[in-house]
């Protein structure tokens, strides 16, 4: 990626020789990967639903596959956002819907039951990753019994507000104690 950034840099900017270690935590990287996977799968489901239904032997369910594609794209976008935890939980719920839809196609007269079984296995594996990522990225909150720190008597000035006013008066006072016309300053 840093090779691309060298292309768009201006002439005076230093070139990037190599990238450093990533600052993203592993759970954030997993959430990002699952988000992009979700978007890719959603695009396939939305634009090629007939191909998906033919592969699974579930012809006639193209509208449902398209709806699942929209859901996947939205969950993927949420997984890439700041509130990635909500997107990952949406993916976990979507995995349940996917499994239910696949189970409905697992009938005796379906010649492609093997494909459905394989798809169920993949959905199960992805569901475990989604659940793990959702658990790892949940917001960390202090325990209820933890004492909250309140600072109602702090002004933001380490030496107090009066020391700041004194310093302001000293700066505002003219050097020779003479005030020029129009140079009167008022410091509270």
Choose the weakest-confidence range: 25-29, 72-76, 84-88, 106-110. 25-29
Q: Considering the entire predicted model, what is its pTM?
A: 0.64
Cα–Cα dist 171/188, whole Å: 13
Question: How many angstroms separate the CA atoms of 154 and 98, rounded?
Answer: 54
Q: Which helix (H) or strand (E) holds 81?
A: none
Confidence of residue 93 (pLDDT cuts 50, 70, 90): very high
Domain boundaries, the chain: 24-136
List pLDDT tens digits, range 41-90: 999 999 999 999 999 999 999 999 999 999 999 999 999 988 889 999 99
Q: Please give the structure tokens belonging to residue 66.
A: 């398209």
pLDDT band at 91 (very low <50, low <70, confident <90, very high): very high
Predicted confidence at residue 162, as pLDDT, reads 84
| Residues 85 and 137: beta-carbon distance below 8 Å | yes
């Amino acid at each position: 990626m840093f090779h691309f950034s060298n292309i768009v840099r201006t002439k005076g900017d230093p070139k990037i020789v190599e990238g450093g270690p990533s600052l993203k935590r592993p759970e954030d990287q997993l959430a990002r990967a699952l988000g992009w996977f979700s978007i890719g799968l959603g695009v396939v489901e939305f634009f090629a639903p007939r191909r998906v239904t033919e592969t699974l032997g579930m012809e006639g369910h193209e509208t449902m596959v398209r709806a699942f594609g929209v859901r996947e794209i939205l969950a993927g976008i949420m997984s890439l956002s700041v509130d990635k935890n909500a997107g990952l939980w949406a993916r976990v719920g979507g995995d349940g819907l996917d499994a239910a839809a696949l189970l409905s196609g697992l009938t005796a007269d379906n010649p492609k039951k093997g494909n459905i079984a394989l798809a169920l296995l993949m959905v199960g594996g992805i569901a475990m990753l989604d659940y793990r990522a959702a658990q790892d990225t949940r917001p960390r909150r202090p325990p209820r019994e933890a004492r909250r720190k309140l600072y109602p008597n702090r002004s933001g000035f380490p030496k107090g507000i009066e020391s700041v006013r004194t310093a302001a008066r000293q700066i505002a006072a003219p050097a020779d104690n003479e005030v020029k016309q129009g140079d009167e300053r008022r410091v509270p």
